[in-house]
């Protein structure tokens, strides 16, 4: 399977008054085309920095990021992004917010085609009939659904999601997880999800990448193979519980609160 995303030996540090703050150290990650990868790790380990590098919003100090076999050196129109805060513009309707990327990314779509595209996505995520509403008229979960529509309206090759469900209540969050499965079925894309929720990572991702503590490198990669994942009850199976247990152990190792089993046995 061809890799759509290749992160090769990426090292990065932020400059502070106290000197360089290393964030990433020789990080190597590959995501095959069509896969959905979740990235988890301790707070402050560089997960959000990773998304900016993939999106071309910043350049690494060392190493390279490649998309579709091309080195990333600047922002790319083929990348969609969704964040914890939906950041919808109040002076625009929900439909107009969804259409926004189509007004920025060069395309030959007519105004009607753009409107139809937005309405099609809104219906897909359960917001049919809400296109003429303003963001303030929608709940937090509904605004996040609209934000997801906006992030894929231009049919990006890659969707980067930086904790998009973190501010939502548990029931709304699980509902949106199922919405994500529907979006992936109808609107195929390669995804990178940054999350602190291990259940979210197991439910949504094809592979879960655990980053070490700062400066982060790839500590552990888990291939997720859960059947029938469109049903949220799959998270209550023994198979899912075993995966979550392993991931939790890996996070504790990354946080320095535990040591790998082999070291513990010495």
Mean pLDDT across the stretch 64-83? 89
Contact 247, 210 (CB under 8 A): yes
Residue 166 has pLDDT above 90, yes or no: no
Residue 224 has pLDDT above 70, yes or no: yes
Whose tokens are 């805060």? That residue is 85
Contact 55, 161 (CB under 8 A): no
Which tokens go with 111? 């105004």
Per residue in 180-219, is it b (16+ CB within 10 Å) or e — as a string? bbebbeebebbbbbbbebbbbbbbbbbbbbbbbbbbbbbb
Give the pLDDT band of residue 263 (cuts 50, 70, 90): very low
Residue 202 has pLDDT above 60, yes or no: yes
Mean pLDDT of all residues belonging to the chain = 88
Q: Which domains does the chain have, with CATH numbers?
A: 1-75+158-165+186-266 (3.40.50.300), 79-155 (no CATH)
What distances in angstroms separate CA 39 from CA 24, 42, 45, 50, one per listed residue? 14, 10, 11, 9
Residue 264 has pLDDT above 50, yes or no: no
What is the model's pLDDT at position 170? 87
What is the model's pLDDT at position 165? 86
Question: Could you read off the pLDDT of 4-14 as tens digits, one per residue?
Answer: 899 999 999 99
- What percent of the chain shows pLDDT beyond 70? 94
CA gap 94, 173 in Å, rounded: 20
Phi, psi of 226 (to 5 degrees): -115, 125
- Dihedral sign, CA of 228, 229, 233, 239? positive
């Amino acid at each position: 399977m061809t890799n759509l995303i290749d992160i090769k030996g990426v090292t990065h540090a932020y400059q502070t008054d106290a000197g360089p703050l290393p964030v990433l150290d020789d990080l190597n990650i590959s995501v095959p085309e069509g896969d959905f990868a979740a990235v988890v790790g301790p707070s402050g380990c560089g997960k959000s920095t990773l998304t900016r590098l993939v999106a071309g919003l910043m350049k690494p100090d060392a190493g390279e990021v490649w998309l579709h076999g091309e080195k990333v050196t600047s922002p790319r129109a083929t990348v969609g992004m969704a964040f914890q805060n939906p950041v919808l513009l109040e002076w625009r309707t929900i439909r107009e917010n969804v259409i926004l990327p189509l007004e920025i990314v060069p395309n030959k779509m007519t105004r009607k085609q753009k409107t139809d595209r937005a309405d099609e996505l809104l219906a897909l995520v359960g917001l049919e009939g809400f296109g003429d509403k303003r963001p303030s008229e929608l709940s937090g979960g509904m605004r996040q659904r609209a934000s997801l529509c906006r992030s894929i309206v231009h049919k990006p090759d890659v969707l980067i999601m930086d904790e998009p469900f973190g501010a939502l209540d548990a029931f709304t969050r699980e509902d949106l997880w199922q919405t994500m499965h529907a979006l992936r079925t109808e609107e195929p894309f390669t995804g990178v999800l940054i999350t602190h929720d291990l259940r979210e990572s197991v439910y949504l991702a094809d592979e879960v990448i655990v980053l070490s503590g700062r400066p982060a490198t790839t500590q552990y990669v888990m291939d997720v193979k859960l059947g029938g994942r469109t049903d949220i009850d799959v998270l209550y199976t023994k198979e899912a519980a075993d995966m979550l247990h392993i991931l939790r152990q890996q996070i504790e190792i990354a946080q320095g609160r535990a040591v790998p089993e082999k070291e513990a046995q010495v």
